Amino acid sequence: MAMRRSTRRRVVRLAMYALFVAIIAVALLTTDWPRVANQFLRSEIAVDQFPDIITIALRNTLLFTLIAFTGGLLLGILLALMKLSSIGPYRWFATGYIELFRGVPALLTIFAIGYMLPIALGIQVPFRPVGSGLLGLILVAGAYMAEVIRAGIQAVPKGQTEASRSLGMSPFRTMMFVVLPQGFRITIPPMTNEFVLLLKDTSLLFIVGTTPVLKELTVFARDEASRTGNSTVLLMAAMLYLVVTIPLTRFAAYLERRLARSR
């Protein structure tokens, strides 16, 4: 029995929708809702978290992210310029650095900075205990951002450099005023990505130890969850991450559109 192509396609699609709705319905019906609510949505526990979950946990998460991002960005620019340098040893160093810190888990780097550096070399990073953790994050972020920035710089047409140099601008000024500003707009999407990754990676700082006032969101939530024996705080922490990341990615998308227009 011949069915017309479009008819057959419609029937298949309908069947897929039906299956999807059925799976959701079964899941919803078989869930023990009071138990879920009891585990994740206890209002008295939620209320009890304020203001610390904001004034300590979220604040520290944001603060650590900003420090690591700024440090990583500066280091990344430096490494990118080294990698594009005409001087061989600079290039080799940057390449080696990037391979090392991109290839090794961030946790291992943080651990190494936090414990091995003081023991092996007698170097103590200031602002203990988070200082060494932040330094580790910066070192790793710098490696990732260096590659992003290098790609951004190389995406700027060579004619831009030539025009700038022809006007008598030095290589440094050309980089600062002509190449980097244009390279950065190309890097907005990957940089947003980098920021979000860093925001989440601040949770790795606990490995070098923490104090009550230095807790960030994940550790705060973990400790509160085990103290209360309830997962409500975990859900709250997850929400707070999203409260930061979703507007940020929206803003980056807006920025990208706006800059694209002046191109």
Q: Which of residues 138-157 bind another protein (CB under 8 A)?
A: 157
Q: Which amino acid is at 174?
A: T
Letters for 26-45 (x = contact with another protein by CB under 8 A, - = none) are --------------------
Write the DSSP symbol of residue 32: -
Q: Which stretch binds another protein (CB under 8 A): 2-10, 215-223, 231-239, 255-263?
A: 255-263
Q: Of 80 and 156, which CB lies nearer to another protein in the complex structure?
A: 156
Rounded Cα gap, residues 27 and 33, in angstroms:
11
Q: Which is nearer to another protein, 95 or 182 (CB)?
A: 182
Question: 100 vs 176, which CB is nearer to another protein?
Answer: 176
Q: Using the rule CB under 8 A, which residue among 22, 108, 163, 238 binds another protein?
A: 163
226 Cβ contact list (under 8 Å, min separation 6): none
What is the closest distance, in whole angstroms, from the C-beta atom of residue 259 to another protein in the complex?
Answer: 8
257 near another protein, rule: CB under 8 A: no
Q: In sequence order, what DSSP letters do the residues of 146-212 get, joined into one string? A: HHHHHHHHHHS-HHHHHHHHHTT--HHHIIIIIIHHHHHHHTHHHHHHHHHHHHHHGGGGGGG---G
H or E element at residue 235: helix 232-261
Chain positions 166 to 205 lying near another protein, rule: CB under 8 A, are 166-170, 173, 177-178, 181-182, 185
| Distance from C-alpha of 203 to C-alpha of 257, rounded to nearest angstrom | 32
Q: Which residue from 154, 160, 193, 249 is in contact with another protein, where contact means CB under 8 A?
A: 160
Binding residues for another protein, rule: CB under 8 A, are 157, 159-160, 162-170, 173, 177-178, 181-182, 185, 261-263
